[in-house]
Amino acid sequence: MNATQALNRAGQSLWLDNITRELLTSGTLQRYIDEWAVSGLTSNPTIFDQAIKGSRAYDAAIRAALQAGKSGEALFFDIALQDIVAAADLFRPIHDRTDGVDGWVSLEVSPLLARDAGATLEVARSLHARAGRPNLLIKIPGTAEGLPAIEEAIFAGVPVNVTLLFSPAQYLAAAEAWLRGVERRIAAGLNPNVGSVASLFISRWDVAVASKVPAALVNRLGLAIGRRAYAAYRELIASPRWQRAFNAGARPQRLLFASTGTKDPKASDVLYVQGLAAPLTVNTLPEGTLKAFADHGAPGPLLGADGGDSDTVLAEFRRAGVDLDALAAKLQDEGAAAFVASWHDLLGVVAAKRAAIEGA
């Protein structure tokens, strides 16, 4: 049994944080599923930007979309849905075998809608319907403005990957929105089993404080935030409120550790995989991190439901002058802005491809 299989056996799902047409058509993703126990996939505007910009594999699809009169966002979602549907079909056997616990793929709504709950909900419902796959999660930002869209999407039966969460408090706010949607479905006599994950970004914490804390604290904040959020997650699913929903047929919204590629070249390239080996969760890995863990990783001790030493470590950062609440808000704002920038870059790449194809 290799390291990825061992971690899966221990109760944590490993998802790939990448998608390209070559990954799908070459058999590489299927090999990751078969050999490395990869059981889901996430995408975002940056991933699609890099995939389309660096490849001619999308030219035929762009040409077909142009002939159908598509441009801009409409053209992008046409070709993105082709990749997402193909990935969803690869993971469908896992989704069926686990009765919807695993085997999910994720597609993000336009980040330009991050502050518009109504438009976010409308686009989320449309994308899910167009894909026509039960194992598609629509990514909705967990910003204050996004929380109503999360609740309404769950109530409408649209599976949701809540993204851009950075702190235990932000996670709990998103979980509250999800649970309200579930409870409303129960009250309305609807099936409350609507898939969802809550994506907590890890590595950006360490990047943000690297030059501002003592050497003994470098590369420890992301893990501490993740572990504290895990404790909050386990407390939630042990609560009487959640158990009532579970008894009515709901399934947990799993905590997902995102942004788990190590940014510091002096640190272990599997730092956030081994340090956040936690049952009942998902870790979505960049392709390089997945390969590194499969090559030389080893699951560390499983994280306990109490979050281990997280409270002690977070207290050390506060004593070092780090305002964790303010930094969480800053990271969420910066993350939203970065996705908007990537979205504009992505649309620029699509426009350039379009111009090149039309010119040819």
Residues involved in catalysis: 139
Nearest to residue 289, comparing CAs of 267, 264, 262?
A: 262
What torsion do the CA atoms of 124, 125, 131, 133 make, to the nearest 10 degrees?
Answer: 110
Pairwise CA distance, residues 305 & 316, whole Å: 21
Question: Which residue, 230, 208, 228, 229, is CA-closest to 219?
Answer: 208
CB 226 within 8 A of CB 272: yes
| CA 193 – CA 358 distance, rounded (Å) | 46
Residue 123 backbone phi and psi in degrees, to 5: -70, -40
Residue 16: burial class (beta carbons within 10 Å; 0-12, 13-18, 19+): buried
Is 162 within 8 Å of 198 (Cβ atoms)? yes
